[in-house]
Amino acid sequence: MDAITPVVIATLGAGTPLIYAALGELVTEKAGVLNLGVEGMMLVGAIVAFILVLTTGSTTVGVAGAAVAGALMALLFAFVTLTLQANQVAAGLALAIFGTGASAFIGKGYIGVALERATPAGFTLPIDIPLVGPLLQALHPLVYLSWLVFAGVSWFLARSRVGLALRAVGESPGSAHAVGYPVIRIRYLATLFGGAMAGIGGAYLSVVYAPLWLEGMVAGRGWIALALVVFATWRPARVMLGAYLFGGITIIQFFAQGAGVGVASQFMSMLPYLATIVVLILISRDATRMRLNAPVSLGKPFHPSS
Amino acid sequence: MWPNRGIAWQVMRISLEPRVAPSRAMRWASPLVAVALTMLLGVVLFAALGKDPLAGLHAFFIAPIDSVNGVAELLIKASPLTIIAIGLAVGFRGNVWNIGAEGQLVVGAIAAGWVALQPALAESALTLPAMIVAGALGGMAWAAIPAWLRTRFNANEILVSLMLTYVAQLLLNYLVFGPWRDPQGFNAPQSPLFPEAAMLPILIEGTRLNASVLLTLTAVAVGWVFLSRSFPGYQTRVSGLSGAAARYAGFSERRTVWVGMLAGGAAAGLAGVGEAAGTLGQLLPSLSPGYGFIAIIVAFVGRLHPVGILFAGLLMSLLYLGGDSAQISMGLPAAAAALFQGALLFFLLGTDVLVNYRVRVRRSATTASAQGAA
Amino acid sequence: MRIIDRREFLKSASSLGVAALGARAIDAFAQDVLNIGVVHQFPIGEVGWETQQALGWKAIEAAFGGKVKVTAVADVQQAQDAERVFRELASRGNKLIFGTTFSQMAPMLKVARALPGTHFDCCASVTTTKNMGAFEARNYEATYLAGVVAGRMTKSNVLGWVGAFPVPQVLWRLNGFMIGAHSVNPKAVCNVIWINTWNDPAKEKDAVAALVSQGADVLAGSPNTPVQGVAAEERGAWSIANCSDFSKFVTKRQLTGDILDWRSAYVESARDELAGKWKAQDRFRGLGEGGFCTMAPYNPAIPAEVVADVKQREADIIAGKLKVFAGPLKDRDGKERVAAGASLPDKEIRSINWVVGGVNGAFPKS
How do residues C220-264 score in pLDDT, each as one tens digit? 998 788 999 999 998 899 999 999 999 999 999 999 999 999 999
Mean confidence (pLDDT) of chain A: 88
Residue C366 has pLDDT above 60, yes or no: no
**CB-CB under 8 Å, A180 with B171:** no
Q: How far apart are CA A188 and CA A27, in angstroms?
A: 11
* Local structure of C55: helix, strand or coil: helix
Residue C7 has pLDDT above 50, yes or no: no
Task: Residue C88: list chain B partners with CB under 8 A.
Answer: 324-325, 328
* Local structure of C239: helix, strand or coil: strand
Task: Using pLDDT thresholds of 50, 70 and 90, give the confidence band for residue B8.
Answer: very low
* Local structure of C186: helix, strand or coil: coil
Contact between residue B236 and residue B90 where contact means Cβ atoms under 8 Å apart: yes
pLDDT for the residue B139: 98
**C245: DSSP letter:** -
Give Cβ neighbours of residue A203 (< 8 Å, ≥ 6 apart). Answer: A45, A46, A48, A49, A50, A62, A63, A65, A66, A67
pLDDT in tens, C134-178: 999 999 999 999 999 999 999 999 999 999 888 999 999 999 999
Task: Residue B309: list chain A partners with CB under 8 A.
Answer: none
The domains found in chain A, sorted by start residue, are 4-293 (1.10.3470)
pLDDT in tens, C45-97: 889 999 999 999 999 999 998 899 999 999 898 999 999 999 999 998 999 99
**CB-CB under 8 Å, C210 with A114:** no
pLDDT for the residue C186: 96
Domain B80-333 has CATH 3.40.50: no
* Local structure of C294: helix, strand or coil: strand
Measured torsion, CA atoms of residues C49, A107, B166, A285, in degrees rounded to the nearest 10: 160
Task: Using pLDDT thresholds of 50, 70 and 90, give the confidence band for residue A125.
Answer: low
How many residues make up chain C in this entry?
A: 366
Task: Residue A192: list chain B partners with CB under 8 A.
Answer: 7
pLDDT in tens, B211-260: 999 999 999 999 888 877 665 656 666 666 665 666 655 567 788 899 99
Mean confidence (pLDDT) of chain C: 89
Closest B-chain CA to C166: B177
Task: Residue A110: list chain C partners with CB under 8 A.
Answer: 45-46
Task: Residue A103: list chain C partners with CB under 8 A.
Answer: none
Q: How far apart are CA A143 and CA A19, in angstroms?
A: 9
Q: Is A215 on the interface with C (CB under 8 A)?
A: yes
Contact between residue B163 and residue A277 where contact means Cβ atoms under 8 Å apart: yes
pLDDT for the residue C345: 95
**CB-CB under 8 Å, A230 with B159:** yes
Closest A-chain CA to C192: A258
Q: Which residue has the higher pLDDT, C312 or B316?
A: C312
Question: Measured between alpha carbons, how far is residue B32 from residues A47, B25, B276 in Å?
Answer: 33, 11, 35
A residues 104-133 lying closer than 8 A (beta carbon) to C: 104, 108-114, 116-117, 120-121
pLDDT for the residue C247: 93
DSSP letter string, C335-359: -EEE-TT-B--HHHHHT----BTTE
Q: State the maximum Cα–Cα separation within chain A, in Å, rounded to a whole number.
A: 64
Closest A-chain CA to C166: A265
**CB-CB under 8 Å, C85 with B328:** yes
List the one residue out of C136, C209, C203 whose CA is nearest residue C164. C203
Give Cβ neighbours of residue A177 (< 8 Å, ≥ 6 apart). Answer: A183, A302, A304, B372, B373
Rg (CA), chain B: 23
* Local structure of C320: helix, strand or coil: coil
**CB-CB under 8 Å, C224 with A112:** yes
Closest C-chain CA to A257: C193
Between chain A and chain B, how many beta carbons pairs sit less than 8 Å apart? Answer: 192
Task: Using pLDDT thresholds of 50, 70 and 90, give the confidence band for residue A87.
Answer: confident
**CB-CB under 8 Å, C366 with B181:** yes
pLDDT in tens, A200-247: 999 999 999 888 999 889 988 999 999 899 888 899 999 999 999 999
Spans of all domains in chain B: 80-333
In a mutational test of the B interface, the residue from C39, C83, C84, C97 whose CB has the highest number of chain B CBs within 10 Å is: C84
In a mutational test of the C interface, the residue from A4, A103, A251, A265 whose CB has the highest number of chain C CBs within 10 Å is: A265
**C302: DSSP letter:** S
Nearest-CB residue to C199 (from A116, A217, A251)? A217
Stretch among A244-258, B34-48, C303-317 having the lowest mean pLDDT: B34-48
**CB-CB under 8 Å, C193 with A258:** yes
The amino acid at residue B101 is A
CA angle (A163 as vertex; A162, A165 as ends), nearest 5 = 65
The amino acid at residue A262 is G
pLDDT in tens, B165-191: 999 999 999 999 989 998 888 888 899
* Local structure of C198: helix, strand or coil: coil
DSSP letter string, C257-291: EEEE--HHHHHHHHHHHHTT-----EEEE-SSTT-
- pTM over 0.80, yes/no: yes
Task: Using pLDDT thresholds of 50, 70 and 90, give the confidence band for residue B363.
Answer: low
pLDDT for the residue B242: 60
pLDDT for the residue A128: 61
Q: Is C353 on the interface with B (CB under 8 A)?
A: yes
Task: Using pLDDT thresholds of 50, 70 and 90, give the confidence band for residue A118.
Answer: very low
Fold of C2-137+261-285: Rossmann fold (3.40.50)
Give Cβ neighbours of residue C202 (< 8 Å, ≥ 6 apart). Answer: A14, A17, A205, A209, A210, A217, A219
Q: Is A267 on the interface with B (CB under 8 A)?
A: yes
Q: Quick one: CA dihedral A270, A273, A276, A282, positive or negative?
A: negative
Nearest-CB residue to C43 (from A104, A265, A269)? A104
Nearest-CB residue to A217 (from C200, C211, C250)? C200
Query: What is the rounded average pLDDT of the residues C188-201?
Result: 91
Contact between residue B65 and residue B71 where contact means Cβ atoms under 8 Å apart: yes
pLDDT in tens, B120-147: 887 888 999 999 999 999 999 999 999 9
Give Cβ neighbours of residue C82 (< 8 Å, ≥ 6 apart). Answer: C39, C41, C76, C99, C103, C104, C107, C108
Task: Residue B155: list chain A partners with CB under 8 A.
Answer: 277, 280-281, 284
Task: Using pLDDT thresholds of 50, 70 and 90, give the confidence band for residue C25.
Answer: very low
Task: Using pLDDT thresholds of 50, 70 and 90, give the confidence band for residue C40.
Answer: very high
Strands C68-73 and C34-39: parallel
Instruction: Provide the CA C134 distance to its chain's centre, in angstroms.
Output: 13
**CA of C88, closest CA in chain B: separation in Å?**
8
Domain C140-260+325-360 has CATH 3.40.50.2300: yes
Nearest-CB residue to A85 (from B16, B99, B167)? B16
Residue C1 has pLDDT above 60, yes or no: no
Q: Is A108 on the interface with B (CB under 8 A)?
A: yes
pLDDT in tens, B303-357: 888 999 999 999 989 988 988 888 888 888 877 777 777 888 888 888 888 887 8
pLDDT for the residue C3: 35
Nearest-CB residue to C353 (from B187, B208, B333)? B187
Task: Using pLDDT thresholds of 50, 70 and 90, give the confidence band for residue B206.
Answer: confident
Q: Which chains touch C (3 or more CB pairs under 8 A)?
A: A, B
Residue B1 has pLDDT above 50, yes or no: no
Q: Is A251 on the interface with C (CB under 8 A)?
A: yes
Closest A-chain CA to C358: A260
Stretch among A1-5, B238-242, C242-246, C324-328 having the lowest mean pLDDT: B238-242
How many residues make up chain B in this entry?
A: 374
**CA of B67, closest CA in chain C: separation in Å?**
11
Mean confidence (pLDDT) of chain B: 84
Spans of all domains in chain C: 2-137+261-285, 140-260+325-360
Task: Residue C42: list chain A partners with CB under 8 A.
Answer: 215
Residue by residue, what is the 3-state secondary structure of chain B?
A: CCCCCCHHHHHCCEEEEECCCCCHHHHHHHHHHHHHHHHHHHHHHHHHCCCCHHHHHHHHHHHHHCCHHHHHHHHHHHHHHHHHHHHHHHHHHCCCCCCCHHHHHHHHHHHHHHHHCCHHHCCCCCHHHHHHHHHHHHHHHHHHHHHHHHHHHCCCHHHHHHHHHHHHHHHHHHHHHCCCCCCCCCCCCCCCCCCHHHCCCECCCCCCCECHHHHHHHHHHHHHHHHHCCHHHHHHHHHHHCHHHHHHCCCCHHHHHHHHHHHHHHHHHHHHHHHHHHHHCCCCCCCCCCHHHHHHHHHHHCCCCHHHHHHHHHHHHHHHHHHHHHHHHHCCCHHHHHHHHHHHHHHHHHHCHHHHEEEEECCCCCCHHHHHHC
Q: Is A104 on the interface with B (CB under 8 A)?
A: yes
Judged on CB neighbours under 10 Å (0-12, 13-18, 19+), C95 is middle
Q: Burial letters for A13-43: b for 16+ Cβ neighbours within 10 Å, e otherwise?
A: bbbbbbbbbbbbbbbbbbbbbbbbbbbbbbb
Contact between residue C158 and residue C189 where contact means Cβ atoms under 8 Å apart: yes
Q: Is C80 on the interface with B (CB under 8 A)?
A: yes
**CB-CB under 8 Å, A10 with C206:** yes
β-bridge mates for residue C239, sequence order: C219, C254
**CB-CB under 8 Å, B11 with A188:** yes
Cis peptide before C328 (omega within 30 of 0): yes
* Local structure of C319: helix, strand or coil: helix
Identical topology for domains C2-137+261-285 and C140-260+325-360: yes
pLDDT for the residue A297: 81
Task: Residue C364: list chain A partners with CB under 8 A.
Answer: 264
Task: Residue C251: list chain A partners with CB under 8 A.
Answer: 116
Q: Quick one: CA dihedral A302, A305, B3, B7, positive or negative?
A: positive
Residue by residue, what is the 3-state secondary structure of chain A?
A: CCCHHHHHHHHHHHHHHHHHHHHHHHHHHHCCCCCCCHHHHHHHHHHHHHHHHHHHCCHHHHHHHHHHHHHHHHHHHHHHHHHCCCCHHHHHHHHHHHHHHHHHHHCHHHCCCECCCCCCCCCCCCCCCCCHHHHHHHCCHHHHHHHHHHHHHHHHHHHCHHHHHHHHHHHCHHHHHHCCCCHHHHHHHHHHHHHHHHHHHHHHHHHHHCCECCCCCCCCHHHHHHHHHHHCCCCHHHHHHHHHHHHHHHHHHHHHHHCCCCCCHHHHHHHHHHHHHHHHHHHHCCHHHHHHHCCCCCCCCCCCCC
pLDDT for the residue B335: 78
DSSP letter string, C89-132: HHHTT-SEEEE-SGGGHHHHHHHHHH-TTSEEEEET-S--BTTE
How many residues make up chain A in this entry?
A: 306
